[in-house]
């Protein structure tokens, strides 16, 4: 939406009227390292899901199925929190992953 001056129309006073709008802000572009999952090792303890600050751990039917790369900032918390004995998540460079 634009106003008569061609500016985008902003809500009065900077009020953001919808909730949960962090979903629309792609923080994936901030990432230097990306998590890679070794499904063989993963026990689906879901500690990573609990600890991920960006809610970027995708879980289906109680199982870790992947990462939301639009929002994963590559912080590596999932790698650190994955129990040492399991070590199913590794942070690798984007090139390395490809």
Partner 1 sequence: MAIENAKEAQVGLTGNSAVALAMKQVNPDVCPAYPITPSTAIIETFSSYVADGEVDTELITVESEHSAMSAGIGAAAAGARVMTATSAQGLALMWEMLYIASGMRLPIVMTNVNRALAAPINIHCDHSDSMGARDSGWIQLYSETVQESYDNVLMAVRIAEKVKLPVMVCLDGFITSHAIENMETINDADVQEFVGEYEPETSLLKESELPATYGAMSLPDSYMVFKKQQSEAMSGAKKVVEEVSAEFAQKFGREYGLLDSYELDDADVAIVIFNSATGTTRVAVDELRKEGHKVGVLRIRLFRPLPHAEIAEALKGLKAVACLDRVDSFNDFGGPLFNEVRSSIYDLEERPKVISRIYGLGGRDYKVSDARSVFEELLGIVETGTVKEITKYITI
Give the footprint of partner 1 on this chain (CB under 8 A). Answer: 7-8, 10-21
Q: Which residue has the tokens 């040492």?
A: 84
Which residues neighbour 93 within 8 Å (Cβ) at sequence distance 6 or greater?
A: 32, 33, 34
Nearer to partner 1, 15 or 50 (CB): 15
Nearer to partner 1, 4 or 85 (CB): 4
Nearer to partner 1, 7 or 40 (CB): 7
To partner 1, the closest distance from the beta carbon of 51 in angstroms equals 25
To partner 1, the closest distance from the beta carbon of 27 in angstroms equals 15
To partner 1, the closest distance from the beta carbon of 49 in angstroms equals 23
Q: How far is CA 83 from the centre of its chain?
A: 20
**How far apart are the C-alpha atoms of 34 and 89, rounded to whole Å?**
10
| Cα-Cα end-to-end distance for the chain | 39
């Amino acid at each position: 939406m634009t106003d008569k001056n061609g500016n985008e129309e902003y809500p009065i006073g900077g009020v953001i009227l919808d909730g949960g709008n962090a979903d629309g802000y792609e923080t994936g572009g901030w990432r230097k390292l990306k998590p890679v999952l070794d499904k063989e090792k993963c026990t689906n303890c879901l500690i990573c899901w609990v600890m991920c600050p960006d809610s970027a751990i995708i879980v289906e039917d109680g199982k870790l199925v992947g990462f939301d790369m639009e929002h994963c900032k590559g912080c590596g918390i999932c790698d650190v929190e994955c129990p040492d004995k399991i070590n199913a998540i590794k942070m690798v460079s984007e090139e390395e992953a490809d």
